Amino acid sequence: MRLISWVGTRLPANATAVGKALLSGLTNEEVRALYAGGLPRLTEQTITDVETLLAQLEAVRRGELAMEREESTDQLACWAAPLRRKGTVFAALSISVPLFRCREEKIELVRRSLLTAQAEIEKLAETRNFGLSEN
């Protein structure tokens, strides 16, 4: 098994959990405009239907984690949380797990870890500037 992601690698946002977390900060109209030419496919599991993607983004906007399973890399699942400051998504963080390790207890650990980190980082972002715009 080989993970194709490393620092500086660019992958289509629709095919990654971290990309979906970031896209959740856009309106549906902005997402549709971004993908007016269609959604790129990386694997057989990649979401290529914009309405399916928008439904996933709506769930993230409601507080669920973004998720992908073999959409960017075979045998790999990933979960991600958007990071918001004053209601605006400014970044995201993710955890990838090989499918053979995706047991319920591992998935729950990933979920709790991301939600805890999200809350802590967002709290820091509200109290410190970190080079972010004041708007």
* 8 Å CB contact between 14 and 5: no
Q: Tell me what pLDDT residue 128 has.
A: 76
Q: Tell me what pLDDT residue 132 has.
A: 61
Q: What is the pTM of this model?
A: 0.89
Cβ-proximal residues to 51 (8 Å cutoff; 6+ apart), any chain: none
* Three-class SS state of 117: helix
* Three-class SS state of 83: strand
pLDDT at 90 over 70: yes
Rg over alpha carbons for the chain, rounded to the nearest Å, is 15
pLDDT at 134 over 60: no
Query: What residue has token string 């509200």?
Result: 126
Strand order across the beta sheet in which 88-98 lies: 66-69, 76-85, 88-98
Express each pLDDT in 9-62 by its tens digit: 788 999 999 999 999 999 999 999 999 999 999 999 999 999 999 999 999 999
* 8 Å CB contact between 66 and 24: yes
